[in-house]
Amino acid sequence: KVQLVESGGGSVQTGGTLKLSCTGSGFVFGDSTMGWYRQAPGNKCEVVSTINSDINSDGSTYYKDSVKGRFTISRDNAKNTVFLQMKDLKPEDTAVYSCAPPGLLATTSPCQSTWGQGTQVTVSS
């Protein structure tokens, strides 16, 4: 059974910094692309960042345009953990952040999966 434990969210002011963590189990973490997603009230679920496996792929990363240069995704396969370092946070970054291995989602939205609980990020102006 896939399980994901997200942590690190919180409330910060504009310009603040947070580092999210997501530890996965129930699947081969090191072989899996991992993604961070977010959903704000009234908005659609969106991909924030993804990182490919560095075991069976090239470890390349993707960032949503609005977070490029501010967010950094990384992974520690020994700890089955993916991180999202967020700096220069803006009020529009406010959302529930969730992680997921997109290759295992099928038709499930990563923001509505039951694998994890998500973590709330609130940025005040």
pLDDT > 90? residue 124: yes
Q: Where are the alpha helices (DSSP H) in 18-65?
A: none
- Write the pLDDT tens digit of every residue in 59-109: 999 999 999 999 999 999 999 999 999 999 999 999 999 999 999 988 888
- Which segments within 1-125 are labelled E, that is strand? 3-7, 10-13, 18-25, 34-39, 46-51, 61-63, 71-76, 81-86, 95-100, 119-124
Q: How confident is the model at residue 5 (pLDDT cuts 50, 70, 90)?
A: very high
* pLDDT over 90 at 112, yes or no: no
**The pLDDT value given to residue 90:** 98
CA–CA separation, 42 and 22 (whole Å):
24
Residue 108's pLDDT is 86
